[in-house]
Chain A
Amino acid sequence: MTTFKIGGVHPDDNKIYSAGCPITPVDLPKQAIIPLSQHIGAPAVPVVQKGDKVKVGQLIAQAGGFVSAPVHSPVSGTIFKIDSTIDAWGMRMPAIFINVEGDEWDESIDRSEKLNPVCRLSPKEIVEKIQNAGIVGLGGACFPTHVKLTPPPGKKAEVLIVNGVECEPYLTCDHQLMLEKSEEIMVGIEILKKALGIEQAIIGIEKNKPDAIEVMDRLASRRIGVTVLPLNLKYPQGGEKQLIDACIGRQVPSGALPIEVGAVVDNVATIYAVYEAVQKNKPLIDRVMTVTGKSVKKPGNYLVRFGTPLSQVLEVAGGIPADTGKIIGGGPMMGRAMSNVEMPTNKRVSGLLLLPEDESVRPEPQNCIRCAKCVQACPMGLEPYLLSKQSEYGLWDEMEKHNVMDCIECGCCQFTCPSFRPLLDYVRMGKATVGGILRARAASQKK
């Protein structure tokens, strides 16, 4: 069985609604709102001001540090203002507002569809180009890719693992990208191998995507050092620690990063963006996202320029169905329900799931029956029943001792609990609180 060894659950994949839908571009908005923080790390700092004219791909905000990423304009037009807007969860976020005029691209960008398979840059130049293009992980975490490609001193990368798993139910954007842009992804893989100075790349794809496995395998067999590994279906196979376990049988130690075991994991959408950046000089200004749900009229995989309001994307998908109970950003396992759809699309949003009212209702939690199904299900080997009780009573020190910071917030525990206890809610809250305590402790120790 090619899969990770600890825990996991088997939700219905529900990919049928948007599977196979060709990637469809969405029209440009009238006003693009581009957040300054679309990544892990320091927010970007604007380099434009009100009244400036910008073209597609032009730099509008520079990185705020090493662990940060620059932001490029996804549209052409005039800067309207630099102000804050409300994100999908009611929180204020600083953003650059651009009134869209036409669709004029920066001259350096190669817009042709022709495959560019050869890269003559040195590894250092490749990493720099990826950094300048604002590439971040598009699997959901948005970690700046150039940081992943720069192992800390003393650590060496041995293998590149390509995440083509897309284990989250309902989402199909990565799958469609693999079917339509397989050649480009292959070139992207070669570029990353060169940047890391490694010989081996493994593409992990779950067995519920036989067409993607076939396409990628056909291309991989013509190359040296790239193999496709079909993986048994299990959620959360796409979690990087689980994927490393499944592909090379190594377990990342608690609190450490994948580079500790010599692995670098990147999502296929990120790799496609790397190809576009390095070979076509195109910075990260758009992405494919899935809009799906049982009642959605036109579910599918949509190519959206960042800054487009989500409401516009929902209109293209046939509007919000009348029986919608929740609009979830991401998938049903790790996504979060949104309270505002005027939020613009950005690097972070990989999909929208519209759940009907009857599927949105949460059952009333019952008492814990000590069945330990949550312990069996946890892919990180934690004890969710214990962590959630500790979180409820505010026992932050105990949670730290019980490795709450290793939780990947996958939702397996809450999914499997027969008493419908909100385990993930409590553990997530505890993890955020303990994270704050650890940061405060580190800051005071530095002084």
Chain B
Amino acid sequence: MKRLVGMLLCLCLVGATSAPPAQDDAALTAFRSGRYDEAIAVWQAALDGGSATVAQVRTLLQALRATGRSDRAAAAARAVSEGGNAVAIANRWGELFYERGQIEAARARFQLAVDEGASDALVAELNLAVLEFESGDRESATRRFNRFVDVYNSSGTLNAEELVAVGVACSYLGRENPSLFHDAVRAFEEAIAADPESSEPRLRLAELFLTKYDGAEAGVLIEEVLRLNPSHAGAHLAEARRLHFNGSSEAMARVDRALELNPELVPARVLRARLLLAAESQAAAEAEMDRALKSNPDSLEVLTLKAALHFLRGEQRSFDDAAARALSRDPNYGQLFAVVAELAVQNRFYAQAVDLARRATEIDPSLWAAHGTLGINLMRIGRIDEARASLERAFQGDPFNVWIKNTLDLLDTFPDYRIVETDRFRLMIGHERADLMSLYMGPLAEEAYEALSAKYGYRSEEPVRIEVYDRHADFSVRTLGLAGLGALGVAFGPVVAVDAPLTPGMGLFNWGSTLWHEIAHVVTLGVTDFRVPRWLTEGLSVYEERRAREAWGDDATPGFLLALLRGQLLPVSRINEGFARPRYPEHLGHSYLQASLVCELIEEDWGFDAILALLDAYRDGRTGAEAIRVGLGIEPEELDVRFDEYLRARYAGPLRGLEAAAKRPPAQGRQGTDSADLKALADADSTDFIAHLSAGAALARQGSDEAIEYLERAKRLFPGYAGPDSAYVHLAKILEARGDVAAAAAELRMLLSLNESLLPAYLKSAELLEQLGRTSEAADFLQRSMFIDPWDISRHQRLAQLRENLEQWSGAVRERAAVVALGPVDRASALYRLAYAHDRHGDTRAARRAVIAALEIAPGYRDAQELLLAIRARQGT
């Protein structure tokens, strides 16, 4: 109290005198460079001593707010105001009230500054407009924003702060008139020119670029701000947003830095909570929201996230209450539903996202992003025509949105595809690929669906749509709205998108296992009403790949086991972070494998019913910890321990073989090092897998017989390793060169029991087996090669011939049909061979159809004529 009195006395002098100029310059420099405490000390002293100017007090309040000391700032503002300077301080005090959710108090202060013509009245007018806009009075707000355009046009002497106000006003007006965003940019750029040392205009411009999806431009400006002021919490927050925009896992660290600098920065808490929700860490997100509410109990953004949390937990009544509360604060606040829709998408609730986004657009038709969310998610649930209308509306309102533009461009390519229907699927395949792919993909999809739906007790009410993209960029846009996605397939529920086999740029991959994986998602998402966590649905998809075909589904690699040895793998209780925020480049891939191994452990120790119980628990809305308790009857921490033990026991041998490598610098013991050094390394440690494999490979390249010894040892140390540089590959080459075809074939057999996508090995294996007269096995390997590359017509012809030689007429029919589908030059022959295979398979009707098609091309084709006459003779026609 004594201090307050002193202040009151002193404040009577505010404006009459000031701190010494040199000291004030130094304080301002300290403030602008982020040495806030230094600046605060000078101005607080000036304030306490009664010598502070209006500008100093205003900046002191900014400094206190920037460092999360709003109570102190409020006290200072109150004191100054009560000291007779209410008008001078009104706008800044209003900002403080507004940040703390005291809307009416803020409104009164802004209005006072405007009415009384305070020197920062223009900024107060902007604040008032923003307040009105965000409280639902859009009409009045728009009138005020429009005034800024007039002010800009009629005044040639605006200072940086006022130019920033003009820029902000134009940004708001840009929602209805996108061309005004360009004016906003110009105003911010002029503000930067007017005060080059100020962070504010740069940051505002960066934020505008972020809202217009230009992360690169934003990044340059944020970097400039942080160079001026490394302690600018708002700049760190903007950088976090930019990183999040770019899909970087480093966003969270930046948010944390922002909150370290300003613990009261509510937007940072909001972003942190959103990142946690996206990572399915609901409890941590809720705690973050509660912390934010302490700073601003009336924050619409936080109320929105609270509502989202209720939604994600299936608490409909609480969600409705939260939504009603937000709408009572701002009846136009459709943004709540837009944000919940986005979070619903991140948690794979696509159908609900459609409803939410639609409601958002009904409340606020100018929420262009929500129109986009609506359109993209209508596509994800297969309602393509409706999607286009929403996307076009979104793009009309926000022509800067590259996601929407890309998606509309993608829709323009849909006429290049056609729909092939099977019992339960609608396959969308490029015209040129459809005939062939439907031969393989249709039956495999049906098989997967039949197996998985029976196992998990789920059947989709509608046909599952599978979109097979010719270009990876299109697949990526379908999934993310942008090119550059590393995945091969995605499931949105009953809509699946995958890359076509041998899509340029994606290397060799097994499209069969990819499809099986995605159909497993369809089932696990469906059976849990989309509540299955990411780790479990991914884990089960890989687990089911392994059960579908030999060699399908990834297994442990040296990289995975080294990550285990180095402690990089997360415990099961935090495994979702490996999907949401991978910590190292291979972390995402390792998380898939790790999750699948958790499923293996559960099946081995508890039985498959425990997996079903786990899924049931998630479907019923249980949290991760509760689901583990209900499904497995243990605490999550116990599962962490058991899984770690399981991994170390399952891979005990290979782990021993990798211990030496784990301790070495990464470059040592790799291919490319001198073979003598590698031999020495291997000879020094008979348990060193990497050294033995590398030495064996180096010796094999030199044609040395010694290679075999090292490669055999490498195989014994880690028999499950089947990469393209594995011991099996080198041994097969050596043995074939020696003429031991059977032994070479045996090595390849082992390799291909573990690896699903080594096309050259499949082809070589088939070739060797044919040489050995093991036609049936050769045919099987050729058949499996089609899951990697089905486009080689000569391979289909070869496989068809093998099937015919083996009198396997069902397989022969498929391969002959494949030849026809690939558009051979000699189509008449291909159709005749197909007709012949059909006939031998006993399908006379199909044979007749095919042979007539052959004769339609070549009516004098003797073989086909004879077959047609024979069929008709048998049928008595």
Q: Report whether chain A binds chain B.
A: no
B-contacting residues of A (Cβ < 8 Å)?
none
